[in-house]
Amino acid sequence: MYDLAVVGQGYVGLPLAIESSQVGLKVIGIDIDLDVVRNLNRGISHIEDVSDNALKIVLEKNKFSASNDYSLLRQARIIAVCVPTPLDQDRNPDLTFINNAIKNVADNLQSGALVVIESTIEPGFTRNQAYPLLSKGGSSKTSFKLAYSPERIDPRNKRWNLKNTPKLVAGLTPEALAEAKNFYSKFVKEIHSCESLEVAETAKLLENTFRLVNISFINEFSEFCTKLDVNIKEVINAASTKPYGYLPFYPSPGAGGHCIPVDPIYLLNKARNIGAPTQFIKLADEVNLRRPYYLATQVENYLETLLEKRILVIGVSYKPDVADTRETPVSSLITALRDKGAYVDWHDELVKKWNGETSSEITDNYDLAVLATKHSNLNLENLKNTPVLTSYGSIL
């Protein structure tokens, strides 16, 4: 028997599984990727926030194991669903992973089990889609409880982690809420109960839409400062001295990752369905998508032409010190540079291989380098006198 089964062993699911096993729960991690399953059972982590040593300790204590066998869920009294909810090729919500996961959960539920969804979804999904799917499952004709608790994972954040980040929890019933709170309180310091599933679902979308809006705003504002020939860093530092009513954001190639550029689209999709206005969020999305092309234009302006110029893009993951390239704006940046005739290589020793290409060495054999994602272990000395465009849109 398992105290907990975690469906999805990525940036959300694996930390949840390991934290739970570290407090004494017996945990099974379910993932459809056989390579991930094999490596986890060998003590090899693919997530930066979970060390190999931490993984090996819970393996040795027989508190954690991984499998691709959904039938093992029949032995779990709590099941957490932590699968991706990305965008499809047309940038619409793609519910394929979560719908498949929930159907598999439904077919393998034991009576009285608690199901907690952590994946980001639009308001109403847990009540109106997940619950009916679970109720129709082969083994779901017996009773089960359903809760929603949105993930708040920020990879490589040294201050905020799963333990000290307040956890939002909502239940379909008071019993589900109580059981979910009891579960999370074993390893999370602060639990906040939401009055409904929809409050928790919407709060998650608000959090990351807030970030997208402000990231898009500061990127656009930095372009204004560039035209004005004013140092954006100094402007932000000056504004940050105000002790109230201001929160600093910093220019970048754009927002990437599995949350910030994705979650607002789930909000937009729901807004369209209910006829709510969304102009502000649409604009933020448009500005974010435009940002990499602005940086490509800055490169072109500096070099006067990009035709047959050699460019090295440094850092292709969506944020420093992670290997995650989901929704990375650097992809659009490289495409834009190549479309303008440049020969583009990229360097990222964390990512190593990406889009059928391999990380290149940092050398001075380039006309210009673009510092897109600044990992902490970067050594730029080999660039020598090569000019460098920063994510602020200025030349070092």
Write out the DSSP string of 80-93. EE-----B-TTSSB
Q: d(Cα 170, Cα 200) in Å, to the nearest integer?
A: 6
Q: d(Cα 30, Cα 16) in Å, to the nearest integer?
A: 12
Q: How far is CA 44 from the centre of its chain?
A: 21
Q: d(Cα 128, Cα 169) in Å, to the nearest integer?
A: 18
Buried b (16+ CB within 10 A) or exposed e, 171-191: bbeeebbbbbbebbeebbeeb
β-sheet bridge partners, residue 117 = 81, 148
Q: Which two tokens stand for residue 1?
A: 């028997």
Question: Which among 82, 194, 225, 259 is annotated as catalytic?
Answer: 259
Q: Establish whether 194 is a catalytic residue.
A: no
Q: d(Cα 298, Cα 335) in Å, to the nearest integer?
A: 15
Tokens 């379910």 correspond to 30
Length of the chain: 396
Q: d(Cα 36, Cα 300) in Å, to the nearest integer?
A: 41
Tokens 């109403």 correspond to 124
Q: Which two tokens stand for residue 50?
A: 């979970």
Q: Is the dihedral of CA 68, 71, 73, 75 positive or negative?
A: negative
Q: d(Cα 93, Cα 277) in Å, to the nearest integer?
A: 18
Is the CB of residue 289 less than 8 Å from the CB of residue 116? no
Residue among 144, 117, 114 at smallest CA distance from 25: 114
Point out the residues that are catalytic.
259
